[in-house]
Amino acid sequence: MAFFNQKDKVIECKIVYYGPGMCGKTTNLEYIFRAGRSYATTDMISINTKGDRTLYFDFLPMGIGRIMGCDVKVQLFTVPGQSKYRSTRKMVLKGVDGIVFVADSLQIRKNENLSSLKDLQENLAEQNMDLFNIPLVFQYNKRDLSENGIPIMQVSEMESYLNNKLKVPFYTASALKGNGVSDTLKKSLKLTLRHLQHELRWAN
């Protein structure tokens, strides 16, 4: 849930990048941090786990509008995707306002994508949150691997097994090259802020 700093007229919200291990969540945030360094209000913090990492930093995107006369500060987080770090994912999800689900386009990662999405739904449910009602964007990452002859799934296939019921916006991406990273974030910000604005108006 977003935090309202009445003194500074700032609303702080939280967007979490979720997905299976090694799908590109960390690469997304590293690219955003480098490209938007002037908007980052803190250093990027990295909590290393074996084979995966949790990253976070505060981000003050300009020009995305104000809510009730307040500036908006966004906290961007990743979660470790490996199954053994489920407790860490639960902790990071607390107070989440929007989610970017990063799916791995490699054909051999289909089951991992599905397991991670199920894990997300279960972890949200434990916090009385509904996957169908939270601002959510899919990113189908690693699309550039096909250029090297590596088998990847067609976008239509990924849409069919991941987004058939949710029907949320999606973007194709190569986080390593930065392709699609900004578009994904902008859409997530737009959906999240619209949702927050509605909630705050309703609360008042």
Structural domain includes residue 38: yes
3 state SS of 15: strand
Q: Is residue 94 part of a domain?
A: yes
Whether this prediction's pTM lies above 0.75 is answered by yes
Contacts of 12 (CB under 8 A, 6+ apart): 2, 3, 4, 5, 58, 72, 73, 74, 75
**Residue 30 located in a structural domain:** yes
Q: What is the pLDDT of residue 176?
A: 95
Residue 204 within a domain: no
User: What total number of domains does the chain contain?
Assistant: 1
Assess contact for 136 and 98: CB atoms under 8 A. yes
Please report, for the domain that includes residue 20, its CATH number. 3.40.50.300
203, part of any domain = no
Helical packing angle, 155-162 and 110-125, nearest 10°: 30
Say which residue the tokens 């700032």 belong to.
10
Span 37-48, pLDDT tens digits: 777 777 777 776
Check residue 98 and give its pLDDT. 97
Q: Where are the alpha helices (DSSP H) in 19-153?
A: 25-35, 86-93, 110-125
pLDDT in tens, the chain (204 residues): 677 776 777 888 999 999 999 999 989 988 988 887 777 777 777 776 666 666 666 665 655 567 777 888 888 899 887 777 788 889 889 999 999 999 999 999 999 999 999 999 999 999 999 999 999 999 999 999 999 999 999 999 999 999 999 999 999 999 999 999 999 999 999 999 899 888 766 555
Q: Is residue 202 part of a domain?
A: no
Largest CA distance in the chain: 55
Residue 132 lies in a domain: yes
pLDDT for residue 59: 67
Domain-embedded: residue 188 = yes
Domain limits for position 166 = 3-197
